[in-house]
Structure 1
Amino acid sequence: MPSPILTHSYYSDFFANKGYAFLKKMASDYQPPQELVIFSVMHCYEGSLPYINVLAELGSKLVFIPKSATAEQNQGLKETIETIPNCEIVAPQFNKQSLRDPATAEALIRQSIGADSQFLILDHGGYFSHTIEHLSQVFAEQCVGITELTANGLYKYLNKSFTKPLVTVSHLSIKAPADYEASECIVHYSDQILREEFGLKINNDEFLKVGVIGAGNLGRGVIQYLKGKGISCIQVADIDPRKLTQFPRNGVQVSSLERLVKQCNMLFCCTGNGALSEVLLDSLDKSVFIATVTSADDELRLPELIANGALVEVGGHQLVREYHTRNGHSLFLLAGGESANTPFKTGMGDPTLYLFEAAHMLAGLQLLEDPSRFKAGVQALSEKDEIMIAERWLNHFYNYG
């Protein structure tokens, strides 16, 4: 077997090899079928290379579907990924929007599998959620099942009726460290974008009033790192008032969403699904800066807002995209409307990403080994498996044993 391709452009061999060895060891307990095709949706980060290599070694083919936010700016990395044995990147026409069409999704699978192939979908963000009912019928004998990595992706699969099992790892406690790592990156790079493009510092209370919409793992992490930057007046809103009860004792002001939007002009949207309604945008009486923790297509339902005329794009580039509201106020989407850390390199020095990658992969391997243990529809990876992953990760990276 040729050596894995674990790095692309900078010196992180130690961390890459360490992560590859961990994921490889996690997979070694299983014997996937020879004629296995894996469809994997993931970001086009250099930090993904160890995971991509392990997935490509599990079966006869890995079909890599890069998330558009990072694929468009990492063409060189895509070329590196294409050199990995048994790995192919889908053509550009197979993207998030086109895969909502059942015929397009079916065509992608048909061109990638053989008559004797089984296939597994490792989804990230619900790319196949719109077509899963169709695919599970058309490929009833060959589709083993689906795994979903994120909460916003899982949301898209809910209330769908499909005959294959979907195993979610979106709400596992071992995913929390990576969420907090992402929160740190989002705050750091939002500050960097504000400085680079507007000459603003995120902790200048005179110019920026900061609000956080959503009090889940990512929202709480954003607040933690905002406080670390010396921001003394942070407002937080959430549709679930139970999540807000922890904040007053920690010096964070709780607020209704309407009041937060009225009083703040730097918004971190951390809900994963429709943080700002059309009515709220119409009520804006000032220009605002917005950072999202996932694609604005999901976080703000941006295509709907544009189609309804609530927002009109007026310009921008990779770091900032500007829209106008109906009232003529500017809405500046940092990172062009993607998660605010996507324009920048993501390294492998923090091994928390291997926790959720291991869980995502393990869910798929268990589907392959014994599909009968899973029922049709949505279910979570077991607590026992989560504990096992945590123990192995601690032993591998931190000599826990």
Structure 2
Amino acid sequence: MTAFFSHLVSVLGAERDVYCIVVAHMVPNTVLFVPAALDKLMKVSAVLAKPKSVDRAEYDEIASQFPTPPLSREWAANPTAVVAELKKLGLSGKSVVFVDIGGYFAPSINKIAELFDGTILGVMEGTENGVQKYEAHLPISAPVITVARSPLKLPEDHLVASSVVFSIEAVLRSQAEILQTRTAAVIGYGRVGRSVAGILRSRGINTVVYDSDPIKLAEAAARGFQANTRLDQAVGQASLVVCATGNKSLDLRGFGMLQSGSVVASVTSADDEFDLGSLSRGYVRTEIEPNFIRYDENRGSGRHFFLIADGNAANFIHGAVIGPAIQLIEGEKLRAIKKLIEKRVPNATDRLSELDEKSRREVAEIWIEHFL
């Protein structure tokens, strides 16, 4: 895999006078991608570990190579604090790229660009929920480019869905249950949610779908799923709920719609998918095992539900390893960053930018050369 990145960087051309701040999950692929790809294309000044992944072994490995300032939504939304950290990292007067996942800098990027005494070349956002956050803050006076909706991400999205279902099943088996004893609801019929629903149905599990977008809901119905126009209708008939919106699919009211005994899982970070802070007002938390948390309603009703991985991406339980397919979209990230460095991405006034088809084909051709 390092040969693929070396080849791609050699084609793109390294930019050693450009520095980047990287938001990343601490998973096996990060240990490869950050030093072998990002730090070869430019200079990685800091890796901001997603908060729920700092206890993983990969964090120690990354921290031994790069500065790892703590990351939180509150800090990232504070432009003064972010600019102070950039200066602390010695980036005054430098050219900087933000490599984001989850839209951490969406509320603050305009002010960061204004306050920073160097140059913010732009942001590369890698996830759909991050794209939604940046879109909510348009117009943005800096370039923002995304790979989240690229066709090159389709293989990764499907494999992520497969690994999510694998991990859900593994956790259920550890509780002496099998997947097929449950009925399922998938909340969010985006690219990952669509694949999760298809995989569950292929395993013989009755699966219903809910999405707030009528176009996506219509597609789900056309594909033969029972498509619900109301969240309570969807979760009320399911004992397994997989959330794939990246946009607070369940809050205290939503958790109250669940059947007693339901198992809930997410395909993304807990802070993106759920309002877990509200649960302390209505539920008592008990750790059955580290990746299987029970929440009991505190009114003595006996009603309860279970949260896999305490609401974080279920597939991270098993390292989120999905093979070479993920390097395809990582390659597109490098190409998108290079475009930012070349200043060929316009400011995000009314939409985020994406790579053109020719650039994607070039990345795919190099990937095929190395992996097929």
* TM-score of the alignment, normalized to the shorter chain, above 0.5: yes
**1:325, distance to aligned residue in structure 2 (A):** 4.4
The answer to whether the aligner puts 1:362 opposite 2:335 as a matched pair is yes
Aligned-pair distance for 1:259?
Answer: 1.3
Q: Is the counterpart of residue 264 in structure 1 residue 238 in structure 2?
A: yes
**Residue 159 (structure 2) aligns with:** 181
| Structure 2 counterpart of 1:8 | none
Q: Quick one: which of 89, 95, 99 aligns to 1:112?
A: 89
Which whole-Å CA distance do the structure 1 matches of 2:253 and 2:32 have between them? Answer: 44
Give, in whole Å, the separation in 2 of the partners of 1:277 and 1:115: 41
Please state how far the C-alpha of 1:176 moved relative to its aligned partner.
1.0
1:245 Cα deviation (Å)? 3.7
- Take 1:292 and 1:60, find their aligned partners in 2: how far apart are those partners? 33
> Partner of 2:250 in structure 1?
276
SS at match of 2:307: strand
CA distance in 1, matches of 2:59, 2:286: 30
Q: Please name the residue that 1:130 is paired with.
A: 107
The structure-2 alpha-carbon separation of the partners of 1:126 and 1:325, relative to structure 1 and needing over 3 Å to count, comes to farther
Aligned twin of 2:46:
63
Structure 1 residue ranges without an equivalent (≥5): 1-18
Q: 1:185 to 1:373 in 2, by over 3 A?
A: closer
Equivalent residue in structure 1 for 2:10, among 28, 33, 38: 28
Q: Which amino acid aligns with 1:66?
A: A
1:39 to 21, 36, 51: 21
Count, aligned residues? 365
Q: 2:140 aligns with which of 157, 162, 165?
A: 162
Q: CA RMSD in A?
A: 2.4
- Give yes or no for contact 2:238–2:259 (8 Å, CA) kept in 1: no
| Correspondence for 1:345 | 319
Please state whether the residue corresponding to 2:122 is helix, strand or coil: strand
1:217 maps to what in 2? 191
Matches of 2:345 and 2:227 in 1, distance apart?
44
Partner deviation per Cα, 1:299-341 (whole Å, 9 max, x = no partner): 12333x347x355544455302233446653231101210101
Matched, 1:234 2:207: yes
Identity of aligned residues (%): 25
Q: C-alpha separation between the residues in 2 aligned to 1:280 and 1:34? A: 48
How far does residue 155 in structure 1 lie from its aligned partner after superposition? 1.2
Letter in 2 for 1:43: H
Q: What is the match of residue 265 of structure 2?
A: 291
Q: Distance in 1 between matches of 2:124 and 2:219?
A: 32
Structure 1 residues 243 and 115, CA gap change in structure 2 (3 angstroms): closer
Shift of 1:179: 0.6
Corresponding position: 1:244 with 2:198: no
Partner AA of 1:34 in structure 2: R
Instruction: Give the counterpart letter for 1:58 in structure 2.
Output: L
Aligned to 1:80: 61
Q: What amino acid sits opposite 1:287 in the alignment?
A: G
Unmatched runs of 5 consecutive residues or more in structure 2? none
Q: Is the 8 A contact 2:189 2:210 kept in 1?
A: yes
The equivalent residue for 1:172 is 150
1:323 aligns with 2:304: no
Any conservation in 1 of the 2:77–2:105 contact (CA below 8 Å)? yes
Q: Counterpart in 2 of 1:374?
A: 346
The separation in 2 between residues aligned to 1:126 and 1:333, in whole angstroms, is 24
- Decide which of 165, 168, 171 is 1:190's aligned counterpart: 168
Q: In 2 relative to 1, CA 300–179 (structure 1 residues): closer, same or farther, beyond 3 Å?
A: same
Q: Report the CA distance shift for 1:376/1:281 in structure 2 as closer, same or farther (over 3 A).
A: closer
Report SS of the residue matched to 1:145: strand
Hey, what's the Cα distance between the residues in 1 that align with 2:283 and 2:121? 41
Once residues 269 and 92 of structure 2 are traced to their aligned partners in structure 1, the CA distance between those partners, rounded to angstroms, is 36
Partners of 1:115 and 1:281 in 2: CA distance: 46
Shift of 1:118: 1.3
Tell me, in whole angstroms, the C-alpha distance in 2 between the residues paired with 1:317 and 1:113.
43
